[in-house]
Structure 1
């Protein structure tokens, strides 16, 4: 039986079609298996796929009628064939021809769905080009010719006012033109630059190994190149940290075979960020000691307070304890963020009962809130090797957010499951929800959604720390949400190391 299963998996991994299995017995029909062709087709690694619903491949493109056909097929337990627009991890569109079929048990109940997927992007592209090629090409040529004639001076003036240094090179890396910002930033003149080899500018100041690597090795194979960092000590203007965007222009005619480089000087910005991180680290450490003392005094006062004390005094002392604890949590988050930024965060991995730890965390949060009922269901594992305190910190943060940002609701759901060789935790609230454009940045440091910032004060650190903790455990944290319909924050963690020849 084991040999047959191994042979079956090898056969599926050898298929040129992408193949997935979803578990219809679990909420949201999560993916529990994918073969290697599916990974290659989508650009996602296996640990980023397992546990997700298939809709994550459509990203923001949610209004396709094919999605309704798929949803109805799942509800009816029926077969379905659709051609749908999907997006790779890097955002590239590809057309997917999906054959979906239900897998039923002996009682006729649909337990799983199998999806066989083929990338038909080339075919769709050919069809569209055959229908529209002549009309589009003629229209583009007319528009481009008119645009070039009317806009050359206008575009030139825009280039000169851009607050980045712009350089145009020929294929031999000779400077064809530069803007005024380049001249001011690097203290050169047009006579010293235009017509000269880039590497020879300023008596060889631009003979920079990383710049050569970008132009000669990376750009020819990866067009365009974005946010490429180059640090160099210029003899006359000092050390500069530059962010380069490079693009090969492959038009016909006058502008054929050009290389455009945009150079952003981020020296000052990076120094400000470093100082800010240093300040936060120092401030957090300095605040920790007196706060611990204050917390101790408050606890002593609470223990020594006589029964005859005034009720107002008791209430003031109780509220003081609450706010001290909130401040303590905030400082702890700042310290965690500081350790993450400096690479000093440490994981102490030991085996522990994962389900028990989650249940205890839920009980603690439940004891602290009277407005919401936290419902926990499902099972993941009773034996997981990880940093228990950090995992519990993630759960506490997700639950606290679910309660905080859903004040009109009275229920939070926590679902534990095991998906293939991953455990999955999902925390669902019925709160205000998050817009698609904000979901992309929700895990960034210090990012806060505008409406949330107005109603709920905070620093935007918690989700950033949670994301880093999950990543340090080899897992993935993500959010699915719609404005007005609540949010579900989910994460997966690998239960065992896969072989190096497996993805």
Structure 2
């Protein structure tokens, strides 16, 4: 007789949970929940409004500490207030500068409230944020006197007018095609580089609609969408790639940057367009990728044969062989393995660039993978103390070999770039519907400038280039593998204070 009551209670609980989630996602305020019982107090839930306010997707938010919204603006006193409130388990209300995914600043009115269990221990924090950028802007505008603003506009307009000839001469010397359009997309000016590159004259260009130039050869659909739909929103267009086959000069690949500028007076509503011809650069990159692919394949076959002969020699070493002979043979084997790993990375890079990387997804135990991978590395480097904390009991749907490759690369880097230390920490935990794997070293650290580029292909930090060999493709491969598994990979580091590389993977739902 109890079973119907139990099922009814379960249904009521599920119904209540759905209502609560709908209520949170209907809120106009951004809401997050962090887990204070996990290291670094990571975000485990965010509502739809939080994603809309910050511009980040759910997958890019989960697992991060809230401080990632401050980007590099870390000297704000409000950050210390938040840190103290979290440390003391207290509520706080403050205003703080945050940055959206596209880098734009927004002011955040933030309320942080602790959640405690029956013993009074803080288990979670709830953060509620509202975008008050408009309010801050209006407050700032009200503090400025109207006369002062008008004076600045007049001065600026006069300055632009006086310097028009000077700026025009500078534009003509730029080795990049530059156009100035009015609000109706009529060409007001074109520099010499544009005229020479696209084989047109001033008479055929100035005063004409951009899309009608050269017998409509600039009537490019992608360019038209850029100018007619994107620019009116006042958002600049950065590095927009356009490919077009021109009747007179052939196929071109162009990188377009466009800005809509609003001034008072005769300069009102101008569109500035910079066009860079990257056709040759693209061809060089393609040839380089083809070379890497061909060279890697050609080197792989003889290297495999050499490795086989070395293994055969190791099994056939005479009993009376000298210690020097055995040692030399062992070193040869080690360096062949290193060369083999390098060629494998080049092959992986080539596959990623061509879109031919293969992913064989099957369910696997992430805890077992982390333990097995790290323990193998620990055996190879007994002088390092590698601690492992992984008990998520989570199943991941993915390519087990590729995820093991990521962990191996990150732990190996932690060892390689931590001279003078002997400790590496590997931590794996649940954050919402994801697992988060963190590899922490206590080595040299990475500058803020290099952190923005560290996952690019062939990029190597300047300090690292001088001290450590490498090609700068390991982290690029890791980043692409995690991205192909619907996760994110990021780094948190300070010079001289070590680095923590984190990545998330979605948990397989039963």
TM-score range, shorter chain: over 0.9
> What residue number does 2:62 align with?
50
> What residue number does 1:172 align with?
184
Mapped to 1, the partners of 2:35 and 2:418 lie a distance apart of 29
Call closer, same or farther: CA 1:187–1:482 in 2, change over 3 Å.
same
Question: In the TM superposition, what is the alpha-carbon distance from 1:221 to its structure 2 partner?
Answer: 3.8
> What residue number does 1:24 align with?
36
Please give the per-residue CA displacement for 1:60-98, whole angstroms capped at 9, x wherever unaligned.
000111111111111111111111111111111111111
Contact 2:234 2:260 in 1 (8 A): no
Contact 1:30 1:50 in 2 (8 A): yes
> What residue number does 1:183 align with?
195
> What residue number does 1:256 align with?
268
Structure 1 residues 86-485: aligned runs within 5 Å: 86-134=98-146, 137-138=149-150, 140-141=152-153, 143-145=155-157, 147-221=159-233, 223-485=235-497
Mapped to 1, the partners of 2:218 and 2:47 lie a distance apart of 47
Call closer, same or farther: CA 1:497–1:210 in 2, change over 3 Å.
farther
Please give the per-residue CA displacement for 1:412-445, whole angstroms capped at 9, x wherever unaligned.
0000101111111000001111111111111111
Question: In the TM superposition, what is the alpha-carbon distance from 1:398 to its structure 2 partner?
Answer: 0.3
Q: How many residue pairs were aligned?
A: 498
Which shows bigger deviation, 430-439 or 393-402? 430-439
Mapped to 2, the partners of 1:93 and 1:491 lie a distance apart of 26
Mapped to 2, the partners of 1:364 and 1:50 lie a distance apart of 30
2:478 is paired with a residue whose SS is helix
Mapped to 1, the partners of 2:278 and 2:413 lie a distance apart of 34
Question: In the TM superposition, what is the alpha-carbon distance from 1:314 to its structure 2 partner?
Answer: 1.5
1:381 is paired with a residue whose SS is coil
Contact 1:241 1:267 in 2 (8 A): yes
Contact 1:19 1:34 in 2 (8 A): yes
Contact 1:42 1:87 in 2 (8 A): yes
Q: Structure 1-normalised TM-score? A: 0.95
Q: Structure 2-normalised TM-score? A: 0.94
Call closer, same or farther: CA 1:320–1:140 in 2, change over 3 Å.
farther
Q: Give the alignment's Cα RMSD to 1 decimal.
A: 1.7
Q: After TM superposition, what 4+ stretches of structure 1 lie above 4 angstroms from structure 2?
A: none
Mapped to 2, the partners of 1:257 and 1:334 lie a distance apart of 49
Question: In the TM superposition, what is the alpha-carbon distance from 1:140 to its structure 2 partner?
Answer: 3.0
Call closer, same or farther: CA 1:71–1:340 in 2, change over 3 Å.
same
Call closer, same or farther: CA 1:291–1:258 in 2, change over 3 Å.
same
1:268 is paired with a residue whose SS is helix
> What residue number does 1:490 align with?
502
Mapped to 1, the partners of 2:113 and 2:253 lie a distance apart of 54
Contact 2:70 2:98 in 1 (8 A): yes
Call closer, same or farther: CA 1:192–1:403 in 2, change over 3 Å.
same
Please give the per-residue CA displacement for 1:212-255, whole angstroms capped at 9, x wherever unaligned.
23233333346322222222222222211111112222212121
Mapped to 1, the partners of 2:111 and 2:443 lie a distance apart of 36
> What residue number does 1:81 align with?
93
Contact 1:230 1:243 in 2 (8 A): yes
Question: In the TM superposition, what is the alpha-carbon distance from 1:308 to its structure 2 partner?
Answer: 2.1
Mapped to 2, the partners of 1:223 and 1:14 lie a distance apart of 28
Call closer, same or farther: CA 1:211–1:486 in 2, change over 3 Å.
same
Please give the per-residue CA displacement for 1:323-351, whole angstroms capped at 9, x wherever unaligned.
11111111111111111111111110111
Contact 2:157 2:265 in 1 (8 A): no
